Structure 1
């Protein structure tokens, strides 16, 4: 049995923190639980509560300091993407509709093994996934 209880947070980089916070708040009702102004040796950051004990820690850095190609598998760096969990197919469908309304670049809901999956891109072009258990 694992000693861990799942993921605590995923950290990501953006050149526009306000835009990313607005997107995740609008798309997933994420709540900002912590904000920190930039200071020597540490960029401006926000922590977004994604529910279920999971958080997204977002650091604002100049665009030229973000390494990788967010739109290419294998070129995104050591963390290729992360998946957000929702409780049901109905919630996943509502999330898809909300992402469309926000103008997000999204795919179609598909069955991947025991999960329903929807891939999308956030405003920075990062490919992400929303999943729920099938069945």
Structure 2
């Protein structure tokens, strides 16, 4: 059995922090629980609570940050972000919410162990939301 209790946070980078925070707030009703300004040593960043359970997306603005020079479209820091809901009904309601915002969202797909839908975030990263089959 693993000695850890799960994932605390995932870091995504963006050239526009405000746009990315707004995306998570509107699409997922997530809460921006912490934000810091850019300093000479650190980029501007926000911590978004995506579930009310201490699971976070840390969004780092890299427009003026040295790490940005190390990435291009083919070497993004993450391949996709996976979020979860408890039930298929919640997944359907989330799909309807995202669609009502005018955002692109896939149909719900049944995989062997879960139901899943996909959408791009404002920077084109793949975001998947799943509900495990019970």
Cα pair 1:105 1:122 within 8 Å, conserved: no
Consecutive unaligned residues in structure 1, runs of 5 or more: 70-74
| CA distance in 1 between partners of 2:91 and 2:43 (Å) | 33
Query: How far is the alpha carbon of 1:63 from its aligned partner?
Result: 8.4
Consecutive unaligned residues in structure 2, runs of 5 or more: none
| Partner in structure 2 of residue 95 of structure 1 | 94
| Partner in structure 1 of residue 16 of structure 2 | 16
| CA distance in 2 between partners of 1:59 and 1:109 (Å) | 30
| CA distance in 2 between partners of 1:124 and 1:78 (Å) | 12
| CA distance in 2 between partners of 1:54 and 1:133 (Å) | 18
- 2:57 is equivalent to residue 40 of structure 1: no
| CA distance in 2 between partners of 1:129 and 1:60 (Å) | 22
Q: Could you state the TM-score of these two structures normalised by the residue count of structure 1?
A: 0.88
- 2:81 is equivalent to residue 82 of structure 1: yes
Query: How far is the alpha carbon of 1:68 from its aligned partner?
Result: 3.5
SS at match of 2:80: coil
Q: Could you state the TM-score of these two structures normalised by the residue count of structure 2?
A: 0.89
Report how many residues are paired.
130
- 2:62 is equivalent to residue 61 of structure 1: yes
Once superposed, which parts of structure 1, at least 4 consecutive aligned residues long, lie more than 3 Å away?
A: 75-78
Cα pair 1:86 1:131 within 8 Å, conserved: yes
